Structure 1
Amino acid sequence: MQFPLDMLTGYFLDQGITVVKEPQHPRALFSWVSAFLDQEAPAVAEGEDDTLRFMGPRALAELREAGTPGRRVVVLGPRDPVPEVLAAGNDDVYVRSALSPELLADRVQRHLMRVVQWNDQMSAMLEEGCINQDLLKASEPVLGCFVALSDSTFSYIAHTPNIAPIDERTAYLVKNGCYSPDTIRVAREHGLMRTWEHQEWTAVHNAPTALCPYPTLDRVIHQRGSYAAHLVMVSPSEISTSQLFLFNLLAKKVEACLERHWRLENPLEQSYSYFLRELLTGNVYDEPQLAEHAKLHGLPLTGLFELCVSDNTWRAGSPNYFAKKVLESEPSCKVAINGQRVAVLLCAPDERRGRIAAMEEEVFSLAHRMRVEVGVSEKFERLDEAALALEKARIALKYGRRKSRRYLAFDEPGTGTEDVFRFRRYFPYFATDPFARSEKFVARLLASPNPLSALRAADRERGTNDLEILRVYLHSEGRVNVVCDLMHMHRNTVTYRLEKIRRLVGGSLDDPDLRMYLRVLYLLTE
């Protein structure tokens, strides 16, 4: 293993040893150190370019007279005068210490061996399938500083367990498992997120920054061209070049570990993501291929589905963070991300609406806590209807933002309707908007499965007239006696048929939003 010369000078500074002269080429490499005794012959040092010799001023004078090449560490005693000519132009290092060259060389070599052993230990741990927490725990004795690793969604992955954080940012990260909203806000305001997105190097901050008043090292790790994780080291003292070298060794091992686990950490890398994005863009396969791909990616072809979409996930920190929290709270959901927009597919293999309602509660509660607005489509029963459901969710999100305040006086407190917008409530606004260019969508909506088409199909199959019963019921503002008179039917029969209709349309006929939605559908159909 080879080390740069500035790693050696950083070690001297960490140990309180004064460096009188630094090497001209700090990135030059060496792999071994040895002490050159005054009584040795100058020829001993010839031909060993990767060995760094420790010596006193007397041995240095002998080597100069003999013209022996090589790089050296000259150890000056506390009272030794500084030579007038420091051999400027080469990579010799001059230090002042009360230790002898032999003892100092021995201590440096012991430190280098510890680094080599630590690096080999981390390599062995990676081969055994370790996690990042194991790497950070093994790094504590060598680094001696607090290190935290957060992923691109600003949530906690690992930290050095036996070294307490000394700044508020990482302390909050360890305690709560994510960055605080204030940290995310400051990072956004100072453009740090954009910097981290493109950062390819280790950033050294010895001066206080907007996020941390202590010296820090920041390393951004990318996977597949995306910002994958953020490795941070916080030090109570100024960052030395030795610490920087050790930190970069750790970063390489963490990057290798993340490469193996990245698919589990990043919602964008879920196996179904590409397939779901294709469905949402309308690129639907034929029936056999759709069934095959759905089975391959763990998605039911039929059942009960609902689609939620949000485009202001920046309030939660990032789209990835919101998506990951959705998957953590409701693992059976499927998530697709496009820019700032996050689409969440709620899916149940059967048609029991209670399962979808439970999933809704988890997702809507998360969105409310993160102040994220969500547009919700209608429920649908076939996976290939996802593209139309996405359009419905977008319409609900767009018009819900404009019109939701009109309903605050009517909705019960705590229902979350101020940030959860359902398609059935806001579709009439879209249908009557002269600037919406709604003809194409309306044509798709009427040609696709909808409450009226379901009633029409049931009437053909059973020989009933539920479609007309519902029209009269809506026109009479829900007065059953008027329906009985106009349809010439007994009240018990009308009540029975209305219950059947309620099950088909998937909601209570006393719901004013559903009744308005159905009336608009009748008008568009006629």
Structure 2
Amino acid sequence: MGVSLNIMKRELEAMGNVTISSDGSLDFENARLYLGESSIAGDDILYVCSTSEDCESVRGYGRHAAFVDHHATKPDQTAVLSVTGGEGTLQVFNALLEIFYRFGMWERDMDAVLGRGGGLQELMDVSEKMLRNNVVVVDPALKLLAYTKGTPCDDPITMELIGHGYHTEENIRKFQLHKRFKPWAKEDGFIVNDTLSICKYVTVVKSFKTKTSFSLIVVMMCNKLSPCDYLYDTFDLFLSRVKRIAAREYPEDKPSGNAVDTFLHDLLLGREGNEAIIRERCKLVGIPPEARFCLFTIPVTEDMSPSRLLSDLVTMVAPAKVVLFDGCVTVLCFNCLSPQCALHCEVGSCPRGHKSISSRINELMEKMDLICGRSSKFTNLAKASIAYRQAREAARLGAKAKPGAHKLPISFNWNRIFSFDRAQIAFIADKMGDDLPLLNSTYASVVVRSIAKDDAERGTDNYQFLYEYLMCERRANIVAEKLHMHRNNVKYRIDRIEGAYGIDTSDPALRFALLFAYRFDDIEIMQNAQ
């Protein structure tokens, strides 16, 4: 895009009587003095002429002319732009060059923002002086994404939006009452509202749409400059760059809805720390503000497209939400109906039937040869960013474990889902590096490894027996049932183990240390399996 005739007309008003005799949206990249055939170049150049004969000649070459004559009293009909009764040809030509320079620099600055992957606020910052009016950009959930920080506006709606960071529920009701959402979602061009029924000033709105809804809404408050062709063309230069960001951030194949995606992105990035804001936005995207939440994260491999995985998961886990974020497909689950469900999905606890979300995701992971990390349960959505990191770490540790045995301590009943609740020790061990021997060289660790070594030499199973005894909290009946033995033998076996290795399992601190040692022993097995 270049500088339109509408823009030139407004910028040259002080130079004389300015008239355009063509479509005002016709735009050019630069201006040049017409000095005969040798000066003719591209058709995106406006040729400045001082006589009607020169204008006719330019037209004969299939180019566009600007007529400038300070003695003339009427415009030239063959020129697309005429400046008469004012400044001379050179003065107007210099003014045109300055206009092209300023607008050209602005376009280069905007394109530089896009080139380095910048966002809406950065684009707004380099555009503020050129836009002149107050402008805000909101997402479909009416959260503020960018605004002209140096262009104050005393409109109450705008001031509340900037103050809260989102449109309040009361303002949303006003939009609904005055039927603002329908044209935003349906119309393609500028939507001008001059009723002043909600806002203090006339507004010019442009919305960007996907197949399912609108993605971004850009609102200009005409608090400095009233709506006119110059304003629309200048605004359009800015919007053409917003359109590219909208296409980047809101691709057509996003399955879970742009409002949901934007909200989830903010949660995962930790940008929505205010509980009041979270509750407001939850109402707009169909997510309960309070529930038993859990995050599943599936890293996307380089050789696969996430589209199929996204579409499969959306229908599989509903009403849970799915989003593509930071190279992972992430599921925010709030389906759990069981108040006792603390560390994993239970059969019958999910509204989707007898199969839990974990069971269904695990089946899909097996089918697609992928792994999934799972966070710990949480009830406060502001903790979603921490849960996301937990799920990412669980998936990373699961990828390390995958070449070895499936039933490792960081999985539960599924061989493709790795839980952070069960991976905490592995996480600590992985982060300790050279300091790991400090933890796996305790007395309890020495005992556990000694039992394993003796089992290997003698063909006994004391290692597994002691583990089950500790995990069953020393309840003989449960241990006997699990290991298919008589309960009296449980007491006999544990007494012999305690005597042989000098331990007392009635000591709760020792029991914790022994289970801790078992976890580290399993981690060594996992590492050796690689």
* TM-score of the superposed pair, with normalisation by structure 1: 0.48
TM-score normalised by the chain length of structure 2: 0.48
